[in-house]
Amino acid sequence: MLSQHLVILPLLIPMVTALLQLLPWGENPQRYRRALGMLSCTVLIVCATFLLTESASTPLVYALGSWQAPYGIVLVADGLSSLMVLLTAVLAFPVLWFACYGEDNLGSHFQALFQFQLLGIIGAFLTGDLFNLFVFFEVLLISSYALLMHGGGKLKLRATLHYVLLNLTGSAVFLISLGVLYGITGTLNMADLAIKIAALEGDNASIARAGGLLLLIVFALKAALLPLYFWLPQAYAMTTGTVAALFAIMTKVGIYAIIRVFTLLFGDDAGAAALLGYDWLWWLGLGTLAIGAIGVLGSRDLRLVISYLVVISVGTMLTVFSMNSERSISAVMYYMLHSTLITAALFLLVDVIAKQRGKTASRIIKGRRMAQHAALGIMFFIAAIAIIGMPPFSGFIGKLLILEAARTGAQVALLWPLVLGSTFLVMVALSRAGSRMFWHTFDGKPGDVTHPQSQLIPIGMLLAAIVGITVFADVINQFVERIAYDAMHPAAYIEAVLGGPHAK
């Protein structure tokens, strides 16, 4: 019984923390808000770890108000959602630590907005209802609008405006898709939808397919899939390093939604609606991967390079997911852990580099030496090797799993050249950036801007996490293989939510 209440704790922790942080706290309120924020992230990691342990074998269901599904709102923690909650918590701790060295003072209520952002992200992972997925999307989007503008500036305003307009459109399409699916099935509970969509035939099945395609458009927008990716590079490049690092998990919310909805509602057992959109994901994923690689090579700013690395990861994961096999889903999950943590580390690192380089900032041009040149150079070298995918780090293992997931001749012929080709272009781009920023520097006195050693610790934490998922790659791979099996065979999920008589 106690384990079931664990499901709601990851939502209550950031929500209560954010409300407390909005209170007046005397003469030095930021000090208390920072302490509350760090305490919240610490407790969230502990809670998420217990949740992952408890839900690894059997999904945990929390019925709000004791109203059972499909009539009430339920939160569901299985291996997939619990792993994403833990990833969010592990990411949030070092990112908030980094922000507490003054970046949270650039705008109002950063600490509370950070917690509300976590609330929306974690809620999207845990909800078992499509309408509440929409609600949590709106919570995280409203917080992200304010966080993108954190610190102000014309460039941030323009990038945020594009982001807001696109996501408002996406929210409208989301509501339309929910109306279509509810009108044809009479439910928005995902487990119940899985049963009812599978039973549809004829025109009713065609209407459900139309609603599912609208959902795919919405999730593709959140994930930044071609042709809906163009908001991401500018938005991530123009905001602060802390916000961009936190947003490393944002595209993963869209990818998670695609994995959850299109294996549960439109998987192999969905009848006339089976495997809806998988062909589209294959081709659009390949296109996103190619566009991201071109963007990386053509960028003249390191922030923009890293933003396009996010685009590459999105294209890679959705292309592999569209192969529709346990092997492909497990490869996506391992690669997702790697790409989230390493891009976050790079966003924080480039923020430090830009400030220490002065006027040249993060532009890939010759500049003066930085005050902490050696330490930053070592960190950049490790991060570059990891994200390129060279051994011995997790990027190599992730890409190896992705290449192994391609089984048919067509998959090998298309995926292998694009993955290996993009890897080569990323290596060229990061080598160019590293040589310009750390090797070919101006002679003379280094810059005088330094960062406290303790502020560099969060970057080290993220790099250490990359080492951790490399060292424990076998254990993690076994776990994500179990997640992939459960995703491809959702009977246990449906039975946990609705009960035995309703399960497939």
What average pLDDT does the chain have? 91
> What local confidence, expressed as pLDDT, does residue 67 receive?
86
Looking up tokens 């699916």, which residue turns up? 181
Read off the pLDDT band of 293 (50, 70, 90).
Answer: very high
Q: What string of DSSP letters covers 106-141? A: SSTTHHHHHHHHHHHHHHHHHB-BHHHHHHHHHHHH
Per residue in 209-231, pLDDT (tens digit) is 999 999 999 999 999 998 888 88
> What local confidence, expressed as pLDDT, does residue 152 receive?
67
Dihedral over Cα of 449, 451, 456, 459: its sign: negative
Distances in Å between the alpha carbon of 482 and those of 6, 225, 333, 447?
Answer: 21, 27, 11, 51
Instruction: Select from 326, 313, 256, 251 the least CA-distant residue to 285.
Output: 313
Per residue in 118-157, pLDDT (tens digit) is 999 999 999 999 999 999 999 999 999 888 887 667 777 8
Mean pLDDT of 59-75: 88
Mean pLDDT of 354-379: 88
Would the pLDDT of 440 be above 60? Answer: yes
Would the pLDDT of 2 be above 70? Answer: no
Would the pLDDT of 255 be above 90? Answer: yes
Q: What string of DSSP letters covers 328-369? A: HHHHHHHHHHHHHHHHHHHHHHHHHHHHHHGGGTTBSS--BP
Q: Could you tell me which residues come within 8 angstroms of residue 296 by beta carbon, excluding any fewer than 6 positions away?
A: 305, 308, 309, 312, 422, 425, 426, 429
| Contact between 182 and 255 (Cβ < 8 Å) | no
The pTM of this model reads 0.94
Q: Cα 446 to chain center, whole Å?
A: 37
- Give kind and range of the element (H or E) at residue 61: strand 60-63
Q: What string of DSSP letters covers 68-108? A: -TTTS-EEEE-HHHHHHHHHHHHHHHHHHHHHTTTGGGSST
The answer for 301, left when phi > 0, alpha when psi is -120 to 50, beta otherwise, is beta
368 vs 86: CA distance, rounded Å: 40
Instruction: Select from 157, 145, 140, 129 the least CA-distant residue to 18.
Output: 140
